[in-house]
């Protein structure tokens, strides 16, 4: 059976994309800075992770050229492919998605930060393979504070034991906590989730300096509630015409 013919993709033209990205990046950084000032914080205390999972390596490279050196991916194969195209210093790669143990070794080879450590089994496995690979990734413990079954993360009830185990890891640098708020128009609920993570930090691990929380639709609330890393994709790529695949 003859396969369907497809027209070749047009060549990637970086000029319009660069202009759009530059404007979007400035807008997102402005949102972060405004939220920080409202909360009496320094904008320099919040780090933007640009989530490039929906765009090509060429677009990701444009972001780096514009000064955005911290990029995030949520699938290990795509992370590997983009590292092969862009390298790793810069950009600095963050892994932000659910991580299967059979992908952990490849993840620690490429990601300097892992935001999604959600179970004791994954933690122990990461600690072992990081030691075998001779690396020391920085990690966040992901906590499910929304109660949604579709969300990943350790439960608040299981958080204390996971924290104790993470403190004993020899090959992981424990940086802080991470959560994902519900995608909803109920901003009071979103704020309660982010405040809940900050309260966990204050009660159980005030020595850990970082909170990874907030995305395109809720980054202001996250910053107001203490986020030090925000993970933004959609707002960076609005109005961008993309050519090429997902790597």
95-154: pLDDT as tens digits? 999 999 999 999 999 999 999 999 999 999 999 999 999 999 999 999 999 888 778 999
CA separation, residue 44 to residues 47, 149, 174, 198, 241 (Å)? 7, 35, 21, 19, 31
pLDDT for the residue numbered 245: 36
Average pLDDT, stretch 8-25?
A: 77
232: which strand partners?
A: 50
Q: What share of the chain is helix, strand, coil (3-state, %, to 5)?
A: 45, 15, 40
- More confident position, 4 or 36: 36
| Domain contains 120 | yes
Indicate if the pLDDT at residue 10 is higher than 80: no
Domain of 48, in residue numbers: 14-236
Average pLDDT, stretch 62-80?
A: 97
pLDDT for the residue numbered 94: 98
| Global pTM value | 0.91
162-198: pLDDT as tens digits? 999 999 999 999 999 999 999 999 999 999 999 999 9
For residue 204, the domain's CATH number is 3.20.20.10
- CA trace torsion 115, 182, 227, 70 (10° rounding): 50
The count of domains in the chain is 1
**Average pLDDT of every residue of the chain:** 92
CB of 145 within 8 A of CB of 179? Answer: yes
18-33: pLDDT as tens digits? 999 999 999 999 999 9
The structure tokens 């933004």 sit at: 232
Indicate if the pLDDT at residue 229 is higher than 70: yes
Distance CA 124, CA 169 (A): 8
| Domain contains 5 | no
Of 147, 137, 144, 141, nearest to 161 (Cα)? Answer: 141
Integer distance in angstroms from the first to the last C-alpha of the chain? 29
Distance CA 182, CA 173 (A): 28
pLDDT for the residue numbered 8: 47
| Domain contains 4 | no
Q: Is 235 helix (H, G, I), strand (E, B) or coil?
A: helix
Q: What is the 3-state secondary structure (H, E, C) of 159-176?
A: HHHHHHHHHHCCCCEEEE
| Domain contains 112 | yes
Average pLDDT, stretch 48-62?
A: 95
Distance CA 183, CA 190 (A): 8
Distance CA 158, CA 138 (A): 21
| Domain contains 247 | no
In sequence order, the 6+-apart residues with CB closer than 8 A to the CB of 19 are none
- Give the tokens for residue 235: 């707002």
pLDDT for the residue numbered 17: 86
| Domain contains 151 | yes
């Amino acid at each position: 059976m003859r396969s369907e013919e497809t027209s070749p993709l047009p060549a990637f033209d970086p000029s319009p994309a660069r202009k759009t990205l530059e404007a979007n990046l400035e807008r997102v950084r402005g949102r972060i800075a405004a939220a920080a000032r409202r909360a009496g914080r320094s904008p320099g205390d919040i780090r933007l992770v640009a989530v490039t999972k929906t765009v090509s390596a060429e677009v990701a490279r444009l972001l780096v050229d514009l000064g955005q050196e911290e990029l995030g991916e949520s699938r290990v194969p795509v992370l590997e492919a983009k590292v092969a195209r862009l390298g790793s210093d810069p950009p600095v790669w963050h892994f932000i998605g659910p991580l299967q143990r059979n992908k952990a070794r490849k993840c620690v080879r490429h990601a300097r930060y892992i935001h999604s450590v959600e179970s004791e089994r994954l933690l122990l496995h990461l600690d072992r393979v990081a030691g075998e690979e001779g690396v020391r990734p920085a990690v966040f413990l992901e906590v499910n504070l929304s109660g949604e079954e579709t969300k990943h993360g350790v439960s608040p009830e299981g958080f204390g034991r996971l924290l104790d185990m993470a403190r004993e890891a020899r090959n992981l640098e424990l940086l802080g906590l991470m959560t994902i708020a519900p995608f909803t128009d109920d901003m009071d609920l979103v704020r309660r989730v982010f405040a809940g993570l900050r309260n966990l930090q204050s009660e159980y691990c005030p020595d850990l300096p970082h909170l990874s929380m907030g995305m395109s639709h809720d980054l202001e609330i996250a910053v107001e509630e203490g986020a030090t890393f925000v993970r933004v994709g959609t707002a960076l790529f609005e109005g961008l015409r993309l050519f090429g695949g997902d790597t």
